[in-house]
Structure 1
Amino acid sequence: MKLVTIDRNGGIELGVKLDAGVLNVTEALKAVPAEGLQGEINIMAVIAQADHYLPLLESYIDRVLGGEGAGRSFLYEESSLRYGPTVTEPGKIICVGLNYRKHAEETNAPIPQYPILFNKFNNTIAAHSDDIPLPIRVTEQVDYEAELVIVIGKQAKYVDKEQALSHVFGYCNANDLSARDLQMRTQQWLLGKSCDKFSPLGPYLVTADEVGNPNELNIKCIVNGEVRQHSNTSDMIFHCDEIVSYISQHMTLYPGDIILTGTPEGVVLGKPVDERVYLKDGDVVTIEIEKLGALTNRMVDEK
């Protein structure tokens, strides 16, 4: 299932992406109620109680779009909607650095022996089609990073690699935007990673059963129509099951926590110094991962 959040009338509503369009589930339920889906169902509730909600949502979609047909009035073209972030309130945002072999090589960094972990905060969350403010008062070196996001669905502590992916709800795209000068100012990367809206997520949150093996997905970053990154998640040094297991040895993972799994080669930082052209006002960046759709954002100078 492809879940979306819809930003409408100042609130965030739940939707499902279908071949025929996007069904606004929140709106449909007000007109066509369903047992088990009462109350304010939202994306965080679905993530936390997937075993309860996903079968009910599947049955509900079949009912309102099938025989009754009432749900068709709540089916929208994607272009008519404003999306919210696919995960609206992540408890933790954990990132893995230097996790693609060719990216480590292009930046002349040693291959890590353990996953390099750092964190971001909720102020970095943004949505598909949001404008991303470039903080030009403090940096002129904002870089793009196409990344696969793991969304945790079940509490995980001390899980082994073989069981790790059973704790995953699904996956989505992210752009782990990075102000390189701020990132490298000290040995801690946090400052360059945590500017406002530096983690757009979307457009869809795709359940794990639809994705299959998360380490055999094509991944791209496209800037102003030019492909800058093009790789496959199989190039990860630490695969998704290893990442979830490793993190769970050191902290409890809860439903709604998200893990950004690293970026492939092709970033600005990996180019020779005299060839580095960082993101600027008006640039349009698209992150495209197989089965997960395309996340697009425009960069704008912060006012």
Structure 2
Amino acid sequence: MRLVTFKDGRGTRVGALDAAGQVLDITAVDAGLPTDMVGLIAAGAVAAAQAAAAKAPVVAGATLLAPIPRTPKNIFCVGKNYHEHAKEFAGSGFDGGAKDVVPPFPVVFSKPHTSIIANGEPILSAMDPTGGLDYEGELGVVIGTGGRGISKADALKHVFGYTIVNDVTARHLQRRHSQWILGKGLDTFAPMGPAILTADECPDPTKLVLTTWLNGDQRQHAPVSDLIFDIPTLVEAISAAITLEPGDVIATGTPAGVGIGFNPPRFMKAGDVVRIEVPGIGILENPVA
């Protein structure tokens, strides 16, 4: 099942997508379902949502929001987590003098919830006055059952589902500040969506494949199986010190093919359109304004 957050004339609530991509109003069928995504995740209400979706009406004129418009904490993001991207980043001059091409441990930073936007909403290029705007298509892992000290063996039991995140980056700011949050956490720099594919529909996330296009030109294409640190490793590493909560999101890293990988770099500009697809989850597409 693909779950979404949407709004219409009656307000904002959770829904599901049918096979044609139409929004189904699951809370109209089951008034006991939470109307917000974090609440639904915390309640463990997948089965009830599935049952409601089978009878739910289509919502005319629904507008999709990010599936989790406000995450419980900052989005956890992982840098240099595909082998080929680690190499291209090390050779780009934007890596701040890091000694290891492939990091020995996960590189984790964060993006605040104020950076989250929905499918179709504009990425604001003016937020980056330095002209180094770049895209990073990534698989997002949505935490279901929270916890601290989660083991790799148990990690996937704590995953609610999967979404798409664009880790938009101001490359010159990323290099200037060394710590990446001021280059990556700007407003509108975390497009997310369009939906959450529930984990029961995806028992093996390594079979997912991510592709990114800029203005119709394919830039990234890689299976999730190419991750340096897989999803269980990331859940274990983060939860070793930070309690994960229902609705927390981990952006797992981006494959090779980002703008700084070209010589000279090919940065985004106003008028561009970036499109990221993971079959099963859907398409996250945002214009650059």
Scaled by the length of structure 1, the TM-score of the pair is: 0.87
Identity %: 38
Greater radius of gyration (CA): 1
Matched to 2:17, the amino acid is K
CA deviations over 1:44-89 (Å, ceiling 9, x no partner): 1111111xx2222222233x3xxxxxx4xx3147xx4321011122
CA distance in 2, matches of 1:145, 1:229: 9
How far apart are 1:106 and its partner, in Å? Answer: 1.4
Q: 1:278 corresponds to which residue?
A: 267
Secondary structure of the residue aligned to 2:176 is coil
Moved over 4 A (4+): none
Secondary structure of the residue aligned to 1:269 is helix
Q: Are 1:169 and 1:207, in contact at CA under 8 Å, matched by a contact in 2?
A: yes
How far apart are 1:153 and its partner, in Å? Answer: 0.6
Q: Mark the runs of 5 or more structure 2 residues left unpaired by the alignment.
A: 91-99
Q: 2:39 corresponds to which residue?
A: 45
Aligned residues: 278
> How is 1:77-226 mapped onto 2 (pairs within 5 angstroms)?
80-92=61-73, 93-108=75-90, 110-135=101-126, 138-226=129-217
Q: 1:68 corresponds to which residue?
A: none
CA distance in 1, matches of 2:158, 2:19: 28
> How is 1:52-91 mapped onto 2 (pairs within 5 angstroms)?
53-62=45-54, 64=55, 71=56, 74-76=57-59, 80-91=61-72
CA distance in 2, matches of 1:137, 1:162: 41
Superposed CA RMSD in Å reads: 1.7
CA distance in 1, matches of 2:8, 2:187: 22
Q: 1:263 corresponds to which residue?
A: 254
CA distance in 1, matches of 2:276, 2:83: 19
Matched to 2:26, the amino acid is V
Q: 1:19 corresponds to which residue?
A: 19
CA deviations over 1:101-156 (Å, ceiling 9, x no partner): 11011122610000001111011010011111112562211100000001111112
> How is 1:4-15 mapped onto 2 (pairs within 5 angstroms)?
4-9=4-9, 11-15=11-15
Greater mean alpha carbon deviation, residues 89-98 or residues 4-13: 4-13
Change (3 A) 1:111 1:199: same
How far apart are 1:270 and its partner, in Å? Answer: 1.4
Matched to 1:91, the amino acid is P
CA distance in 1, matches of 2:121, 2:128: 21
Q: Are 1:135 and 1:195, in contact at CA under 8 Å, matched by a contact in 2?
A: no
CA distance in 2, matches of 1:46, 1:104: 36
How far apart are 1:201 and its partner, in Å? Answer: 0.6
CA deviations over 1:196-227 (Å, ceiling 9, x no partner): 11011101111011122112211111111110
Q: 2:96 corresponds to which residue?
A: none
CA distance in 1, matches of 2:278, 2:52: 28
Q: Are 2:208 and 2:224, in contact at CA under 8 Å, matched by a contact in 1?
A: yes
How far apart are 1:277 and its partner, in Å? Answer: 2.1
Q: Mark the runs of 5 or more structure 1 residues left unpaired by the alignment.
A: 65-70
Q: 1:291 corresponds to which residue?
A: 280
Q: Are 2:149 and 2:240, in contact at CA under 8 Å, matched by a contact in 1?
A: yes
Q: Are 2:127 and 2:187, in contact at CA under 8 Å, matched by a contact in 1?
A: no
Scaled by the length of structure 2, the TM-score of the pair is: 0.91
